[in-house]
Structure 1
Amino acid sequence: MPSLRVLGHAFRAWRRNRTWAKHEPETPYLADLLSGSPVCLHVGASDGRHSYVMTQVAPKARIYAFEPSAFAFQVLKTCVAWHRIGKQVTPVHAAVADKPGELLLVTPKKSSGRMGRAYAYVAEAKPEGAARPDLDDTGMDVQPTPVVVLDAFCAEHGVGRVDFIRMDIEGAELRALMGAVGILDRDRPHVLLEIHPAMLAERFGASGEAVLDIFRDRGYRMFALNGDRLEERTTLVEGLPWKDYFFIHPSKSARLPDGVFKARMAA
């Protein structure tokens, strides 16, 4: 039986999903990416809100939702059960990186005293000083979490095609993508990726440019929201601690649903 705290968080997420409240601004664009029976990887699933949206815009979608936090994983499973989407969504309690094993999940404690679960990230060891370079935190919680590699996970579970990847993992994006190059090369999936330049540099010894090179080297085109307008970009938006970017491969443009991405890719 889930704890009262899990049930409280799950209820808030369930209610927001039912009323389409407080979704991220990129969420409506999933309908312009997904149709038919797509196979989706939701990496950093949290309470599963993007997984839920995927099931609504593509009712035959098959989704694997990866979440490293033990608490958030319980929330995710509860939301999946309440929405009755368990036949479509498979929750996986794991972080994603470029090699399997175990890492630490670092969750900052906000100045309000609450845990900043949305800002949690994986690390080899507990950081000294502040939990993150881009937050004013008052401490941190550290817990171990299992780690999987997407290429190996898909091979082991018979996932022979991936159509879409949603990834929001607080700076670990390069490591996760390095473990998914087989999927990128084989399937050219659409990707919605939150990129964290400061976290990449300060906690992972990487960069936003290195993340972009993964897609540039494979011929992807990149899009981002500028206000309420979707624009094509070749560089990251400067001055932001994080931002979501869409990556679409030209070889998949003809199979896109009618919508803004299909129109932009044809231009």
Structure 2
Amino acid sequence: MASLRVLGHAFRAWRRNLRWAKHEPETPYLADLLSGAPVCLHVGASDGRHTYVMTQVAPDATIHAFEPSAFTFQVLRTCMAWHGIARQVTPVHAAVADKPGELLLVTPKKMSGRMGRAYAFVAEQAPEGAARPDLQDKGADLQPTPVVTLDDYCAQNGIGRVDFIRMDIEGAELRALEGAKGILDRDRPHVLIEIHPTMLQARFGGSAEAVVELFRSRGYRMFALDGGRLEERDSVVPDLPWKDYFFIHPARAARLPDGVFKARMAA
């Protein structure tokens, strides 16, 4: 049975979804990318806000939602059940990286004393000093979490096609993408990914440039919102701790519905 804390967090997420509140500005663009019956991977699903949006803009979608936090995973499952979309969503209690196994989930404790669950990240060992270079904290909670690669997960579960990937994993994006190269090469899925330059460098030995190059070397084109306008880019926006970017492959352009992405890809 879910704890009162889980139920409280799930209720807030469920209510926000019903009110279509506190969604990120990229959310309205998902409808252009999820036509038909797409197979979607939601990596870093948290309480499932993007998972919920996917089910609303694509009622025939199949979604695999990966969440490493034991607490938040319970929130995710509860919230999806309340929305009545559990048949579309397969929740997976795991982090995603470049090799399977186990890592630590590091959840910073905010200066207020509350858990910074939105800032949690995976690590091989407990960080020394501040949990994150971009956040003041009062220490961190450490929790072992299972780890999968997206390529292995799809192979083991008979997923022969992936159409869309949403990824928000606080700096681990390059490692997760390294474990998804088979999917990227095979399916050319649309991708919406939050890139964290500071965390990539400080905690994962990577870079935002390496993430962008992984896509561009495969022929993907990169887009980001500038105010309310979708603009094509060849690099991340400088001096931002994080930002969402769309990556669209020309091989899928002809199948896009009429809309802003199809227009941009035709330019």
Is the shorter-chain TM-score for this pair beyond 0.5, marking a shared fold?
yes
The amino acid that maps onto 1:230 is L
Distance in 1 (CA, whole Å) between partners of 2:87 and 2:258 is 27
- Alignment match, 2:57: 57
Say if 2:167 is the partner of 1:167. Answer: yes
**8 Å Cα contact 1:98-1:175 kept in structure 2:** yes
Matches within 5 A, 1:130-145: 130-145=130-145
C-alpha displacement at 1:259, in angstroms?
1.2
- Alignment match, 1:186: 186
CA deviation string 1:171-226 (max 9, x = no partner): 00000000000000000000000000000000001100111111011000000001
In the superposition, the TM-score normalised over structure 1's length comes to 0.99
The amino acid that maps onto 2:163 is D
C-alpha displacement at 1:161, in angstroms?
0.1
Distance in 2 (CA, whole Å) between partners of 1:50 and 1:138 is 29
Distance in 1 (CA, whole Å) between partners of 2:143 and 2:159 is 29
Secondary structure in 1 matching 2:258: coil
- Alignment match, 1:234: 234
- Alignment match, 1:88: 88
Secondary structure in 2 matching 1:232: strand
- Alignment match, 2:97: 97
Distance in 1 (CA, whole Å) between partners of 2:38 and 2:258 is 16
In the superposition, the TM-score normalised over structure 2's length comes to 0.99
Distance in 1 (CA, whole Å) between partners of 2:221 and 2:236 is 13
**8 Å Cα contact 1:120-1:170 kept in structure 2:** yes
Matches within 5 A, 1:98-247: 98-247=98-247
The amino acid that maps onto 2:213 is D
Secondary structure in 2 matching 1:141: strand
C-alpha displacement at 1:8, in angstroms?
0.4
Distance in 1 (CA, whole Å) between partners of 2:180 and 2:79 is 27
C-alpha displacement at 1:258, in angstroms?
1.7
The amino acid that maps onto 2:252 is K
Matches within 5 A, 1:37-56: 37-56=37-56
The amino acid that maps onto 1:155 is A
C-alpha displacement at 1:138, in angstroms?
1.2
- Alignment match, 1:23: 23
**Structure 2: tracts of 5 or more residues without a match:** none
CA deviation string 1:134-179 (max 9, x = no partner): 0011111000000001001000000000000000000000000000
Q: How many residues align?
A: 267
- Alignment match, 1:77: 77
**8 Å Cα contact 1:43-1:169 kept in structure 2:** yes
CA deviation string 1:207-262 (max 9, x = no partner): 00111111011000000001111100001100100000000000101111221101
CA deviation string 1:33-71 (max 9, x = no partner): 111100000000000110000000000000000000000
Secondary structure in 1 matching 2:138: strand
Distance in 2 (CA, whole Å) between partners of 1:192 and 1:182 is 18
Distance in 2 (CA, whole Å) between partners of 1:114 and 1:27 is 27
The amino acid that maps onto 2:142 is V
C-alpha displacement at 1:111, in angstroms?
1.0
Distance in 2 (CA, whole Å) between partners of 1:4 and 1:257 is 43
**8 Å Cα contact 1:34-1:257 kept in structure 2:** no
**Structure 1: tracts of 5 or more residues without a match:** none
